[in-house]
Amino acid sequence: MLLRFDWVERVVHWVNATLFGVLIFTGAALYLEPIGRLIGRRALVEDIHVYCGLALPVPLVIALSGSWGKALRADLHRFNRWTKEDRDWLRALLRAGPERRRSLGGIRVGKFNAGQKLNAAFIAGSGLVMLGTGVIMRWYHPWPLTWRTGATFVHDWLALAIGLVIIGHIWMALMDWDAMRSMFVGTISRTWAKRHAPAWLDGEDGPPAPER
């Protein structure tokens, strides 16, 4: 078996997932009147939402800031590299039917495919935007009124987009039980890696996959 995610990465993932879950739930209660009516205690819900939002970057920052974050840093490095294979992969994705399967199979994907890279970039960027607009909405005094209205606009629509992307993320995980299992236990089979991440297996996109 190969180690896909070490314990630091798994802890960060699940802490983030929990925070996102709480943010989505409390956000829905603040935004959708029928849910808010069921829960009540708006002031408390608002506080939970704000402080979970502020806490969102903390696990990632802690994980990156020490020697324990070596694997995570290597993976971030992979996310930040946009290769010719990634472009080919996206182009292949747009093809129809068996043609798509064939051309996707021929690409030497690294540890993360282009879709995963785009997902990571989107969540990281939109997380910062949500943080910024959330701060404007919560501590609104220094900002002009039109900015507050604009921040509300961005926060609302981006929340909807993030929700859809997270549903997509969970859907993809449920479609690949081996990959999802590795986010719980860390390891994944060599066969899976050969099929989904051959360049990772052979150490072409960073340190090669460690054996466990």
Does residue 94 bind another protein (CB under 8 A)? no
User: Is the Cβ of residue 40 or residue 168 nearer to another protein in the bound state?
Assistant: 40
Does residue 115 bind another protein (CB under 8 A)? no
Helix 145-175, helix 177-185: angle, nearest 10: 110
Closest alpha carbon to 7 in 78, 79, 59:
59
User: Which position among 54, 157, 164, 184 is part of the footprint of another protein (CB under 8 A)?
Assistant: 157
User: Which position among 122, 178, 183, 187 is part of the footprint of another protein (CB under 8 A)?
Assistant: 122
Stretch that binds another protein, among 86-94, 154-162, 164-172, 184-192 (CB under 8 A): 154-162
Does residue 187 bind another protein (CB under 8 A)? no
Q: Going residue by residue from 5 to 44, which x/- string records binding to another protein, judged by CB under 8 A? A: -------------------------xxxx--xx--xxxx-
Residue type, 127: G
The CA-based angle 99-102-107, given to 5 degrees, is 125
Nearest approach, Cβ of residue 146 and another protein (Å): 5
Structure tokens at 114: 């282009």
Q: Is there a contact between 128 and 53 (Cβ–Cβ < 8 Å)?
A: no
Q: Is there a contact between 35 and 28 (Cβ–Cβ < 8 Å)?
A: yes
Nearest approach, Cβ of residue 18 and another protein (Å): 24
Closest alpha carbon to 138 in 125, 148, 127:
148
Nearest approach, Cβ of residue 20 and another protein (Å): 17
Q: What sign has the CA pseudo-torsion 140, 145, 146, 149?
A: positive
Does residue 147 bind another protein (CB under 8 A)? yes
Does residue 150 bind another protein (CB under 8 A)? yes
Q: Is there a contact between 204 and 110 (Cβ–Cβ < 8 Å)?
A: yes
Residues found near another protein in the complex (CB under 8 A):
30-33, 36-37, 40-43, 121-122, 124-126, 128-129, 132-133, 136-138, 140-154, 156-160
